[in-house]
Amino acid sequence: MKAPERCDQALEEAERYMADGTAPEKEEDLLEFLMEKLAIGPLLGLLTESETEFLRASMVCGGPVPVSAFAKISANLGEKDSRLTDLGLWDAYPDMVNRTETAVAVNPLVRPRLKKLSEKEMEMLAGLVAGPLFAAWGGEGGKKRPPQAQWQLAVLGAAAKHTEMVKAGVEDAVEWLIQSFRYREAAQLAEDGVSILENANIPVPAGLYLRASDVLVDVGKIDLAESFVKKAIRVIRDKTPDADIRSVGMGAALLRHGRILKIQGHITSAVKAFEEAKITLQAGGHQRETAVTLVEIARIKVLKGDVDEALKLHYETLDIFEALGDRRSRAVTLGDIARIKVLKGDVDEALKLQNERRDIFEALGDRRERAVTLCDTGQIMVMKGDTESALRHLGEAYQIAAQLGDAGGLSIVGIVYGQMLIIAGRPQEAKPVLALARNTFLRLGKPDEARKVETLLAQLG
């Protein structure tokens, strides 16, 4: 068995190969074996020139699609699809929208061996595939499609400037990408989708503006995120006749605006936005959403040093969540109160609150939030000087994040856990933890955070 670091390297080489076809560094690696033993090269050599072009053109789709989507490409090249499937160069699946139909996609091991499509080719091919695929999947009025299908429609629609496809799929697609931790892709698709709809004078839903603003904040495009929130506010104010929907929508938009203003350092304006959101939501009788605004106001008061007033607001929200039976939000608020208790030096009370928070998330079966709570608890243990207990809590949090494939946990918990391993005199264990945190930050489109981790790794040698 190879050393752990060699296994990590092999996995990284696998990711590079699947992404851009970069071969492994050493011949004995798994991917070298796959390339030689599966005879991908000889199989490709059996194809005619036009068959190769047909196979390559099908890479315009990022996942399985009905064969009928390639009808125009097939007609242009004068090729059929049967050989590609028979040779294993296309993989066949049940279609994700019409389960009785067959869908195909380029074999993942084959894709890196084909010449990458240029931006111009992607645009041209998307134009050929977009219409047939949209029709095959039900068009604008089709039955509800799974998120991955919406993503495929939105991406092809954006490339082909097919406004109906973008309108039909982009909002669900952006949400799916966010849930898959593909923040950079989500941000780009949201930006492109909004631009296409606006340029075609098609009304952009307020929900798309708001979700786009969320992910744009995640990738650091703060000014664009703010402009989208302002547009959402105008849409909600001018084009939402239902008073109840308007009040909750406006409250959500004002909340987002306040958070962006807070990031920009405009604290007074942020408080104003949060207060306006609170009034709007209270007037509409939206208790839970009102409590969320109180949480945001309390967090700003912590930043300004007014921790006693912040505690008062948090306890007020705690009562609201308890009355509503919202255990999850109550647990989150317990975490906020615990952090304030730490600031006031009452670490024992903070630990008690974190334990209660952990128990709630355990009962709810929310492993991700349980991991976040374990991380916070571990940091309290550091303050108490209990290194062994801190490592145990942080290690468990990190293990849960790894099991869930939670990018946020692997990066944020990874930094804290890695630093504690260094403090405990276990630098060799810290290296892979920090390396994965660095790589995860890069994948999430957060290069500044990745550089901080890289500095720690450099110090380890």
Residues 53 and 72 grouped into a single domain: yes
Confidence of residue 20 (pLDDT cuts 50, 70, 90): low
pLDDT reported for residue 80: 66
Is residue 400 located within the same domain as residue 439?
Answer: yes
Q: How many CA atoms lie within 13 A of 439 on its CB side?
A: 12
Q: Report the C-alpha gap between 328 and 374 in whole angstroms.
A: 16
In a domain, 169, yes or no: no
> What share of the chain has pLDDT > 70, as a percent?
90
Q: For position 16, what pLDDT does the model report?
A: 59
Distance, CA of 294 to CA of 288 (rounded, Å): 10
* Same domain (yes/no): 29, 51: no
Residue 38: per-residue pLDDT = 54
pLDDT at 4: 43
Q: Which residue has the higher pLDDT, 79 or 46?
A: 46
Same-domain check for residues 4 and 33: yes
Q: Is residue 201 part of a domain?
A: no
Looking only at the bridges linking them, the beta strands covering 65-66 and 102-106 are antiparallel
pLDDT in tens, 103-125: 999 998 888 888 999 999 999 99
Q: CA 339, CA 343: separation in Å to the nearest integer?
A: 6
Residue 457 lies in a domain: yes
3-state helix, strand, coil in the chain (%, to 5): 75, 5, 20
406, pLDDT greater than 50: yes
Same domain? 21 vs 48: no
Q: 442 or 193: whose pLDDT is higher?
A: 193
Structural domain that includes position 445? 368-461
| For range 206-219, the mean pLDDT | 92
pLDDT in tens, 157-166: 999 999 999 9
- What is the C-alpha separation between 127 and 105, in angstroms, rounded? 18
Structural domain count, the chain: 3
In this prediction, residue 244 carries a pLDDT of: 74
Distance, in Å, from the CA atom of 332 to the CA atom of 167, rounded to the nearest integer, reads 35
Confidence of residue 246 (pLDDT cuts 50, 70, 90): confident
Percentage of the chain beyond pLDDT 90 is 68
Please check whether residue 442 lies inside any domain of the structure. Answer: yes
> Does residue 306 have a pLDDT over 50?
yes
Whether 27 and 62 share a structural domain: no
Q: What is the pLDDT of residue 270?
A: 95
pLDDT at 23 > cutoff 70: no
- Residue 54 within any structural domain of the chain: yes
Question: In this predicted structure, what is the pLDDT of residue 224?
Answer: 96
Does 460 lie in the same domain as 389?
yes
How many Cα neighbours within 13 Å face the side chain of 355? Answer: 7
Sheet of 90-94, strand order: 65-66, 102-106, 90-94
Q: Is residue 316's pLDDT more than 60?
A: yes
Based on the fold, state whether residues 415 and 453 are members of the same structural domain. Answer: yes
Which has the closest alpha carbon to 453: 444, 436, 445? 436
- Least reliable range by pLDDT among 67-76, 359-368, 428-437: 67-76
Q: Which amino acid is at 296?
A: E
Query: Residue 437: inside a domain, yes or no?
Result: yes
- Min mean pLDDT across 78-92, 314-328, 373-387 is at 78-92
Q: 284 lies in a domain?
A: no
pLDDT score of 24: 55
Confidence at residue 40, expressed as pLDDT on a 0 to 100 scale:
77
Residues 447, 375 share a domain: yes
Confidence of residue 445 (pLDDT cuts 50, 70, 90): confident
Confidence band of 43 (pLDDT split at 50, 70, 90): confident
Q: Mark residue 321 as left, alpha or beta (left: phi above 0; alpha: psi -120 to 50; beta: remaining).
A: alpha
Q: What is the per-residue pLDDT across 253-276, written as a single tens digit (0 to 9) for each?
A: 999 999 999 999 999 999 999 999
Residue 180 confidence class, pLDDT cut points 50, 70, 90: confident
Is the same domain home to 424 and 392?
A: yes
Task: Answer yes or no: is 58 within a domain.
Answer: yes
Half-sphere exposure of 379 (CA within 13 A, CB side): 19
Domain of 408, CATH number, reads 1.25.40.10
Tell me: do 452 and 374 sit in the same domain.
Answer: yes
Residue 360 vs residue 406, higher pLDDT: 360
DSSP string covering 350-403: HHHHHHHHHHHHHHHT-HHHHHHHHHHHHHHHHHTT-HHHHHHHHHHHHHHHHH
**In this predicted structure, what is the pLDDT of residue 152?**
95
389 and 457, same structural domain? yes
Of 84, 117, 150, the last residue of a domain is: 117
pLDDT at residue 31, as a whole number: 52
Furthest-apart CA atoms within the chain: distance in Å: 76
DSSP 253-321: HHHHHHHHHHHTT-HHHHHHHHHHHHHHHHHTT-HHHHHHHHHHHHHHHHHTT-HHHHHHHHHHHHHHH
